Amino acid sequence: MLLQIQDGTLSIGAQTVLAHFDFEIRGNEKIAIVGRNGCGKTTLLRLLAGELSLDRDDHSKAQGILTSRSLTTGLLCQQAFSDTTITVEEELLKSCPCPDKWDRERFTWEQEYDRLFTGFGFSKEDKRKRLSQFSGGEQTKIALIRLLLAHPDILLLDEPTNHLDMETTEWLEEYLRQYAGAVVMVSHDRFFLDRTADTVCEFRQQKLIRYAGNYTSYKEQKSRDLAIQERSYRHQQEEIERLEELIERFKNKPKKAAFARSRKKILERMPKIEKPPVEDYHIFTGALEPSVRSAKWVLEAEHLQIGYDKTLLELSLRIRRGQKLGIIGPNGAGKSTFLKTAAGLIPPVKGTLTLGQQVLMGYFDQQTAALQSDLTVVEHFHEQFPSLTDKEVRQTLGAFLFTGKDTAKKVSSLSGGEKSRLVLAELFKSCPNFFVLDEPTNHMDIPAKETLESAFRAYTGTLLFVSHDRYFIRQVAESLLIFDDQSVFYYPFGYEHYLAHRNQGSGEELAASLRAEEQALLSGLQSVPMPERHRLREYSTEQSYEDWQLRLLTEPMEQTRMELEQFWNARDEIQEWTDPAYAEDCLLKETTLTDAYTKCCLAWYDKWAEFHPEPDKETWLLPS
């Protein structure tokens, strides 16, 4: 145990942040602190850094903060430097443990210094610049480099990904995973927490609730725990109501008075289950259907050149009804320009762009969400949809987290994230069949993002969006358009799959990706009726596409088959099963592996059947 707090209480002025809470850091674990805005996450970091102390409690037997040894801590501060007239190198050399520039330890330190400095996107020449020449965000990055060079036993990070681009954030994730010490971090970047944290502590009712695993695992565990607590609470309330009814019924009857007293004692001794807290996000469970079904091809672009004064890039693609396409790429690559062109806000430089029949578009960008109105939220929404009853208006707004006093706020007084949420609520209510969205979750807190993620997953229409929120992209996008180096690649799988293949290195970084122009050709080939396909034999692309699709499904099928064979070989080496528990475990594992292999086989067969609509009968046999 590196650090432990038992039965501690932490207050700021007259406000209690945490009351009688427990917290611990084990070894080099990476802990994420999560909770509502203003709950005290940064205050906890300041406590761990030694800037604050626990409240004195003479009635508690706890000894405050216990550590296994003398520990060093490092906290990333927003006010990073007191003197900005010195150079970056002069500032960072202050933390160098060895003043002798010829010492081996100094050489090792400078190697890491260079690796960190370039890893955060700076050039080596930037070392000689004065701190005042850097922006506030760049100064924060330099402060983080200084902190990492100090190698504290406990690294305390408050929103470390602020001001970092996607590439630098990914680099920091890899660095923190390999960091030898413990890390305690606060961040709104859920994907960052997913890839770095192995423990999550949530602020809830002035306590810290600990969960093992990353952010996604924490959400799943919390959802299960709250569902169990909700059922237990409801059953207990039913039991309490039953006992109270019996007590009231028999308390005045002499022959049943003892029975009533015994029920009363049972009721008094019953440990009360607390009512679970109401979650501050809404999950859409049913399908969200567009009002009109669009044509099969929602958008078609042929040699489309996009840009303003000059052409940024050229692309050809087709978007099929029901696709959910996320667009990723560096700033300035043309992502937003493409969306504006698709929405008809700016004309193409050259080429053609066509929307399919009966396509009803819902377009969103940050300018769209810049609402200014003296009406309240409920009045504004009712004005947009006058046919709705007041109850229907409030139900719709409630689904997008406008409840109680929020509906009485003036639209002009809403925050940027709240305005975005209101516009998206209007768009969903208008039921378009093609959403075109530019950074829909900007300035939103986590509950709002999770509400929107569930809405877009439930949406059955077509979706084309740009976002820098990697968690949102992973949750919503089923395929990707990758804008890079004046070209566009189509990737037919989700963001996590893309990262896994990209990070394999070598020449197969984007082995599973297709140029958008090739995807347009393949989509056209797949739309040709089978009797006419013989005319397209000269296009070897179709067969290549089939081979590529089947190969992607063959790899997991072969891997599962090998695991099943290895299990059978290992099991056959044991002559007698004397332990019933072992036999039961073997049977369970065999069933799991067999089901997984069968699922892989069926997935391969379904994909093969797409290319061969009238296949011969096939018999699938497990390996013997």
- Residue 278: band (very low, low, confident or very high) from pLDDT cuts 50, 70, 90: confident
Cβ 426 vs Cβ 381: under 8 Å? yes
- What's the CA gap between 495 and 480, in Å, rounded? 7
* Confidence check: pLDDT of 243 > 80: yes
Query: Judging by DSSP bridges, how do beta strands 73-75 and 297-307 pair with one another?
Result: unpaired
Where is pLDDT greater, at 443 or 289? 289
Residue 293, H or E segment: none
Band (pLDDT 50/70/90 cuts) for residue 238 is: very high
Least confident piece of the model among 463-472, 505-514, 561-570, 591-600: 505-514
Report domain extents, the chain.
3-213, 220-269, 297-371+414-526, 531-611
Confidence of residue 619 (pLDDT cuts 50, 70, 90): very low
State the DSSP string of 332-363.
TSSHHHHHHHHTTSS--SEEEEEEPTT--EEE
Distances (CA, A) of 415 to 40, 178, 406: 21, 38, 11
Class of domain 297-371+414-526: alpha beta
With cut-offs at 50, 70 and 90, classify the pLDDT of residue 244: very high
Q: How confident is the model at residue 78, as a pLDDT? A: 57
> How far is 526 from 532, CA to CA, in rounded Å?
11
Measured CA to CA, the distance from residue 490 to residue 497 in angstroms comes to 13
Q: What is the DSSP letter of 406?
A: G
> Cβ of 496: how many Cβ atoms within 10 Å?
13
pLDDT, tens only, 374-410: 899 999 999 999 999 999 999 999 999 998 888 999 9
What pLDDT is recorded for position 506?
A: 43
User: Bigger pLDDT: 304 or 278?
Assistant: 304
Residue 493: what pLDDT? 84
Please give the average per-residue pLDDT across 119-126, as a whole number.
88
Residue percentage of the chain with pLDDT more than 70: 87
pLDDT digits (tens, 9 = 90+) for 542-573: 555 566 677 778 878 888 888 888 887 776 66
* Residue 616, pLDDT above cutoff 50: no
Contacts of 361 (CB under 8 A, 6+ apart): 343, 355, 432, 434, 435, 436
Give per-residue pLDDT as tens, 524-536: 545 545 444 433 3
Q: How large is the average pLDDT for residues 218-247? A: 92
The continuous run of DSSP H or E covering 75 comes out as: strand 73-75
Grade residue 518 by pLDDT with cuts at 50, 70 and 90: low
Q: What is the mean pLDDT of residues 150-164?
A: 89
How many CB atoms sit inside 10 A of residue 205's CB?
A: 9
Question: What DSSP designation does 511 have?
Answer: T
Ramachandran area for residue 591 (φ above 0: left; ψ -120 to 50: alpha; else beta): alpha
What is the residue type of 221?
Q
- Supply the Cα-derived Rg of the chain in whole angstroms: 30
Is it true that 3-213 and 297-371+414-526 share their CATH fold?
yes
Fold of 3-213: Rossmann fold (3.40.50)
- pLDDT, tens only, 491-507: 888 898 888 877 665 44
If one compares 606 and 168, the residue with the highest pLDDT of the two is: 168
In sequence order, what are the residues at sequence separation of 6 or more whose Cβ sits closer than 8 angstroms to the Cβ of residue 289?
431, 460, 461
pLDDT at position 61, please? 67
Is pLDDT above 60 for 439?
Answer: yes
User: What is the chain's mean pLDDT, rounded?
Assistant: 84
Is pLDDT at 340 greater than 80 in this prediction? yes
Rounded distance between C-alpha atoms, residue 196 and residue 189, angstroms: 11
Rounded to whole angstroms, the Cα distance separating 123 from 131 reads 14
